[in-house]
Amino acid sequence: DIQMTQSPSSLSASVGDRVTITCRASQSISSYLNWYQQKPGKAPKLLIYTASSLQSGVPSRFSGSGSGTDFTLTINSLQPEDFATYYCQQSYSTPRTFGQGTKVEIK
C-alpha cells in the first residue's frame, strides 16, 4: 500500500496568512494526488485534483503543486472559512489512501 504522510499535523495561522501543507507519498504516484477540505461535522470537499487542477467553484487562493512523491497545497491569504482539516489522497493505485490530515487553526 502507498503511505501518504502530511506535514505538519496541525498549524496555527492568522487571517491573511499564506499557508503551505505538504504531502509525501511512499513511492512515486506521478500526479495522481487530490486534496480535500473537511470542516467539523461535514463531509470532505474536493479542492484540487491531479495535483494542480482547481475543482470548479473552489476559490483561486487554493493551489496545488508537485509530482512524483512530493506535493504541496497552498492557501494564499487565508480566510475565516478556510479553518478546517485538509487531506491529501493518492489515486495512483489501490487501495486508495489518504494522508492523516492537517488541521488549520486560528492563531
Partner 1 sequence: QVQLVQSGAEVKKPGASVKVSCKASGYTFTSYGISWVRQAPGQGLEWMGWISAYNGNTNYAQKLQGRVTMTTDTSTSTAYMELRSLRSDDTAVYYCARYNFGPGWFDPWGQGTLVTVSS
Decide if residue 37 touches partner 1 (CB under 8 A).
no
Residues 6+ apart with CB under 8 A from 100: 4, 5, 6, 9
- What is the nearest approach in angstroms of partner 1 to the Cβ of residue 89? 8
By beta-carbon proximity to partner 1, the closer residue of 29 and 78 is 29
Cell of 98: 489518504
Q: Which of 14, 80, 94, 107 binds partner 1 (CB under 8 A)?
A: 94
Q: Which amino acid is at 65?
A: S
- CA distances, 1 to each of 10, 44, 84, 103 (Å): 25, 22, 27, 24
Decide if residue 3 touches partner 1 (CB under 8 A).
no
- Binding segment (CB under 8 A) for partner 1, from list 11-19, 29-37, 61-69, 75-83: 29-37
In whole angstroms, what is the distance from residue 1 CA to residue 96 CA?
8
Decide if residue 20 touches partner 1 (CB under 8 A).
no
**Can you give the binding site for partner 1, defined by CB under 8 A?**
32, 34, 36, 43-46, 49-50, 55, 87, 89, 91-92, 94-101
